[in-house]
Chain A
Amino acid sequence: NAGVMQNPRHLVRRRGQEARLRCSPMKGHSHVYWYRQLPEEGLKFMVYLQKENIIDESGMPKERFSAEFPKEGPSILRIQQVVRGDSAAYFCASSVQRGSLHNEQFFGPGTRLTVL
C-alpha cells in the first residue's frame, strides 16, 4: 500500500520558468493539502483540495501559484515565472473523508524546489 507520492523529489528551475509539482494521494484518500516549508521555518498551509474542487486556498499567493486535483490523475501545484524566493520544500498530504472533522494527514516526502 503505497503512501503519498510526490515527484519530482528535486526540481531546479531558472528564474522565469514554470515549476510543476505532482502529488498522488494514498489510495482511497480524496483530500489533498499542499504546504510549503522555507528554510528554518515550519510548514505553511497553502491549499486544500478535494477531487475537482478547491476547498480552501487562503494560503496560496495571489499570483503565479495555482493548484488542481482533477477527477483522474495526481494533484498538481503549478508555479509560474518562478523567483528565487519560491525556493523551498513543498509537501503534499492526503486524508480520507471520515465522519469527524479532523482527519490525520499523511505526508509525502516533499519536492525540493531550487530556483537559480
Chain B
Amino acid sequence: DQQVKQNSPSLSVQEGRISILNCDYTNSMFDYFLWYKKYPAEGPTFLISISSIKDKNEDGRFTVFLNKSAKHLSLHIVPSQPGDSAVYFCAAESNTNAGKSTFGDGTTLTVKP
C-alpha cells in the first residue's frame, strides 16, 4: 500500500510557463511534507516543505500548496526554467515518526527551451 503517490510519472512544459507537480497521500497521520529535486547520478536535494498547520508556503519561484481535506499537495514552479528539469519527489512525515520520510515514486519534469 503506497502511502504517498505521484500519479504523473512525467511532465513536460515550455520555458517560462508554470509547472504543477501533484502528490496525494493516504495516511492522515502525516503532518509534514517535503519536496526534493533529483538530478541523475546525484542524491535528492531539499527544495521546500510545508507543515500541516499551513496551506501554502512560498520560496522564490517555488510554492507548495496543501489541501488537507483532500490529502493532496502540489508544487508550483513559476516561471519554469530548463535547469528545473529533474525528477521531483514528494515526501511526508508524521510527528510520531519524524525523520522517517515516506517518498512518492517521483515525477520527471522536462522544461523545454
Spell out A's residues near B (CB within 8 Å). Answer: 4, 31, 33, 35, 40-45, 48, 55-56, 58-59, 91, 93, 95, 101-110
Contacts and interface: CB of A to CB of B under 8 A. Distances in A.
Contacts of A106: 46
A1 to B, nearest CB: 15
B45 A107 contact: yes
Contact of A91 (B43, B49, B97, B100): B43
A17 B34 CA distance: 36
Contacts of A105: 46, 99, 101
Contact of B95 (A55, A56, A95, A101): A101
Nearest to B87: A42
Interface string B66-110: 000000000000000000000001010101011111111110000
Interface string B20-48: 00000000000010101000011111100
Contact of B103 (A40, A44, A95): A44
A58 B95 contact: no
B99 A103 contact: yes
B98 A45 contact: no
A42 to B, nearest CB: 4
A42 B104 contact: yes
Nearest to B101: A45
B66 to A, nearest CB: 14
Contacts of A48: 99-100
Nearest to A108: B43
B105 A93 contact: no
Contacts of A95: 99
Contacts of A55: 99
Contact of B93 (A4, A102, A108, A110): A102
A12 to B, nearest CB: 16
